[in-house]
Structure 1
Amino acid sequence: MPHHQHQELLKTLHECMAACNHCFDACLKEEDMKMMAECIRLDRECADICAYLEAAITRNSPFVSQLARVCAQICETCAEECRKHDHDHCQECADACMKCAEACRSVA
């Protein structure tokens, strides 16, 4: 899969990674950080898989479809967790994760 065919997915992955990193950082500053622990953990998981899939696409990895399936699953799980919290950063992250999950499923 030449990466030029996946420019929109690359953009979506990057935006999701950035949203997860922002949410991760903001959650660390919340008053009840213990309540945010799962959100923080999933933000890291999601940001990491998005970055890895982005890299895999740009190097024409033969595992893009498999990685995209895993990425979609992690993005959905992160979105579900973020939706549990009323913070703007969590809601914005959830939106980015759902958009990314849909984009990943289109290539999986």
Structure 2
Amino acid sequence: MHQMSDMQSCIDECLRCYQTCLGMAMNHCLEQGGKHVEPGHMRIMMACAEICRTSAHFMLIGTPHHKHTCRECAEICEECARSCEQVGDMQDCVDQCRRCAESCRRMAA
């Protein structure tokens, strides 16, 4: 079983990633236009925000199923980080997605 401090850490990373991805998609990307609003990029950002929120929620309610959501969250966060890197000018999102992915991998283990 995971230490509560490890889990709280992961919850915090997931909520930060949710806030970062949603905020950047709805503000930065929509305002930048061009490749920032291409469907594939917007979809992965929205998927990332949602799986991060869901993983945090699963950990907060204390279900052991958080291992499954965290595993998926880590994968989607990595994909989102790659997409944001390719689009460019989104380093905050890239960094937060990678921190969240690492934390979720630990929770999924």
Match of 2:85 in 1: 83
Distance in 2, matches of 1:42 and 1:31, equals 16
What TM-score do you get using the length of structure 1 for normalisation? 0.87
Alpha-carbon offset, residue 97 of structure 1? 0.3
Kept in 1, the 8 Å contact 2:14–2:53? The answer is yes
Distance in 2, matches of 1:73 and 1:22, equals 20
Gaps of 5+ in 1: none
Q: CA RMSD in A?
A: 1.9
Kept in 1, the 8 Å contact 2:13–2:100? The answer is yes
Indicate the SS of the match to 2:12. Answer: helix
Distance in 1, matches of 2:18 and 2:36, equals 23
Kept in 2, the 8 Å contact 1:73–1:101? The answer is yes
Kept in 1, the 8 Å contact 2:36–2:42? The answer is no
Alignment of 1:26-105 (within 5 A): 26-32=28-34, 36-87=38-89, 90-105=90-105
Kept in 2, the 8 Å contact 1:3–1:59? The answer is no
Kept in 2, the 8 Å contact 1:2–1:60? The answer is no
May I ask how many residue pairs the two structures share in their alignment? 106
> Among the aligned pairs, what percent are the same residue?
29
Distance in 2, matches of 1:94 and 1:34, equals 14
Gaps of 5+ in 2: none
What TM-score do you get using the length of structure 2 for normalisation? 0.87
Alpha-carbon offset, residue 7 of structure 1? 1.0
